[in-house]
Structure formats: C-alpha cells, structure tokens
Amino acid sequence: MTHPLPPLLPTGHAAQQPAALEGWPLLRLGFRPFYLGAALLACLSVPLWIAIFLGQVQLDLPVSPLLWHAHEMLFGFAAGVIIGFLLTAVKAWTGLATPRGAVLGVLAMLWLAARVAAVVAPYPVYAALDVALLPAVAIILLRLLLKAGNKRNLPLISILLLLSAANGVFHLAVMGVLNVPPVQALYAGLALIVMIECVMAGRVVPMFTKNVTPGLVINMARKFELSTLAVTGVALALWVFAPPGPVTLVACALAAVLHAARLWQWHPQVTFKRPILWILHAAYAWIPVGFALLAMAQLGWVGMSLAVHAFAVGATGGLIIGMVTRTARGHTGRLLQVSRAEVLAYALVMGAAVLRVLLPAVLPQWYGPALAVAAVAWAVAFAIYLVIYTPWLAQTRLDGKDG
C-alpha cells in the first residue's frame, strides 16, 4: 500500500502557531503570492499568444512567440504553482518555517521580474532572471527536508533540480551556446512536470476520495504504483530523448493503460457530487489520454502538439485549478466546498482542453476557432480564480492563525 501524503494543514506539535501575526498577509506563506501570480500569467498570456498566433497582434519578443508561450506556461505558470505549493507543503511536512516576509517577497519578485523581462528585456537578462529562481527554491527546501530528516520527499527536490536543469538548457540552446533544439528542453520540462503530477496525485487524490466517501476502500498495491511510475518515467524519457519508433510507442501505450487502471481504482464515479474532488479525477484522466496520443504520434496518426496539450492543458491546467482552489481554501481557514463560480472555472479549463486537443483531432478545419475559444475559456477560468481568491490571499486567515 502507498502511504498517504502528510496533511497540507499541519497537525499536532507542528501546527502550533505564533501568538502574534506578523507582516503583510500576502507574504506569510508561499502559496499566496505564487498562486496569484501564476493565475494572472495564465489569464493574460494565453489569449495574447493566440492573438499573436492568429495574426491579430504583433509583439516584438526576444525569442520566437511559440517558444515564449511554451516556456512561460511551463516555467512561469506551472513552475510558479509548484513553487507556491512546495513552499507551503514543506512547512506542513517538516514543522519548520519556509520563507516568508522579505525573503518570500524577493522570491516572488524574482519570478515576476522574469515574466516581465521575457517581453521587454534583452534575452540574456531574461535568461539570467529566469534561471535563478528554481535552484534557489530547491536549495531552500532541500535544507529544510534534511534538517527535519524528511527523506521521503527528497525525490521531489530532485525533480525540481532536474526542472532547473531543463530550464537552463532551454536558455543556453536559444542563445546558441548548446547545440540542442530548444523544444527538446521544453519537452523535458513538461515531462518532469507530468512526473511530479503522477507522484503527487497518487498520494493525494485517493486519500481525498476516501476521506469524503464513507466505507470506500482504496488499496493501491505498492508494486503496481512503483511499476506505473517506472513505466511513466521510461515512456517520458523515450519521448524526450529517443527518435520516434516502436519502443516509444509500446512504452507510451503501456503508460496509458496503467494510468487509466490507476484512475479506475480511485473510483472517480463517487466524486460527481463533489466538484472540488471530481476536477482532480477529470484532470488526471488527461494523463492516459496524453500517453495514448503520444503513442499514436509515433505512428504519425496525430500531431505531437495534441499529446503535448493533453498534458499541458488537460492534466496540468486541470490539476492546478483543482489544487490552487483546494489548498488556498484550506490554508485560509475556509471550507473545502467550492462555489458555483469555482465549478464554472473547473468546467472551463476542462472545456479548454477538449477544444484544444480533441476537437482539432476530429475536425481539423476548426483548428483556428477552437484555439480562440479555448484561450477565452482558459482565461475566464483563471480570471474567476483571481476575482474570488485575491481578497482571500491578501488577508489574514479566517481563523486568525498565521500562514
């Protein structure tokens, strides 16, 4: 059996709070500035990219618009959420303080400076700002985990360091220092993010499902879990580093089957009346879809872009909108029960994935309109998040506790 993830909300001795609240609430815990920044980036950059792609907007970028879009979604949006999540979760896992106040503010401003530099600064300035954040966060979290003797979560830091390396390779490739296709570094970044999602979803989604479903039993065999993650790692590595071929096809097809079986064992059918839960199951379903599309891409049946966006929009976007609502509610002292507006945001992200991935596969002549509507749906979803959560994340918790 897999062991459940330590609660994101600390309990027991680790949950003791300081008597007095200090500092600006926005900088009391990592999820606050990074969730808001990532949501704002998602809301603004995707419509801008589609407008550029469709020829409606001209923007003088220091890198090609396609590479800018892909990089910012991976190393700006997704990485920003991962950083905010880990800066929050490691405090719960270890009972030790993660960056807050001025230090957290510097980390958040470094993230923001890189996003702005991507549009207005010379490329070396953008690259220097962008590559600095992930290693800094990894080192901070590594020291805390080692100090607490928390070895179980060290692999997550290893993936974070690999993500840092992929980002560095991307920038060096763009500047011509490395003779590597920049898109290969982006694929590596997406593969690492998918790996993080597979690990974390395997810990939290069945646990969340059991906790709210009386009598439900979810016993995941340890060998099955380890085999699924191993096959996933191999399939993703072959996709990134090997030429298209039968070995990659078989590995991706097997990964698709294993992840579909994994999701089925989590009993997604019991979540239909709990939107804060079904969004996680629905988003995870895009992982087997993504691997199936990767397998088909080896045969030339579909374009690689469909598989990439199944992972990036469906799985990553869906898991992010699900987790940034759930964890933000929990860490601001609110009920884990979402409003109709938040449910609409969930539906819009899933709808954007269908429009971006499945509709073009079936009706390629609708590609342009499908992209435009998908971008609007995506942007509105994260605008809803910003409207609801910005006041909450800028204020003290409802229960008056720190964090």
Domain contains 22: no
CB 231 within 8 A of CB 255: yes
In a domain, 187, yes or no: no
- The answer to whether residues 223 and 124 belong to one domain is no
User: What are the residue ranges of helices labelled H in 175-317?
Assistant: 182-211, 222-241, 246-265, 275-284, 286-298, 304-309
Q: Are residues 118 and 236 in the same domain?
A: no
Within a domain: 15: no
Range of the domain at 168: 27-180
Which of 127, 152, 180 is where one domain is finished?
180
State the Cα–Cα distance between residues 119 and 248, nearest whole angstrom: 36
Alpha helices in 266-366 (DSSP H): 275-284, 286-298, 304-309, 318-331, 340-353, 359-362
Task: Walk along the chain (403 residues) and give the pLDDT tens digit of each residue.
Answer: 334 334 444 433 344 444 457 789 999 999 999 999 999 999 999 999 999 998 898 888 889 999 999 999 999 999 999 999 999 999 999 999 999 999 999 999 999 999 999 999 999 999 999 999 999 999 999 999 999 999 999 998 999 999 999 999 999 999 999 999 999 999 999 999 999 999 999 999 999 999 999 999 999 999 999 999 999 999 999 999 999 999 999 999 999 999 999 999 999 999 999 999 999 999 999 999 999 999 999 999 999 999 999 999 999 999 999 999 999 999 999 999 999 999 999 999 999 999 999 998 888 889 899 999 999 999 999 999 999 999 999 999 999 898 8
Distance, CA of 277 to CA of 184 (rounded, Å): 34
Residues 159, 227 within the same domain: no
One domain, residues 245 and 375: yes
Phi-psi region of 367 (alpha: psi -120 to 50; beta: other; left: phi over 0): alpha
Establish if 14 belongs to a structural domain. Answer: no
Looking at the structure, do residues 226 and 373 belong to the same domain, yes or no? yes
Q: 3-state DSSP call for residue 240?
A: helix
Alpha helices in 8-100 (DSSP H): 31-53, 65-71, 79-94
Domain boundary among 149, 180, 211: 180
Q: Are 121 and 31 in the same domain?
A: yes
Place of tokens 């190393």: 75
256, part of any domain: yes
Taking Cα atoms as reference points, which of 259, 150, 257 lies closest to residue 194? 259
pTM: 0.93
Does residue 189 sit in helix, strand or coil? helix
Same domain, 348 and 226: yes
Number of domains in the chain: 2
- Confidence at residue 20, expressed as pLDDT on a 0 to 100 scale: 52
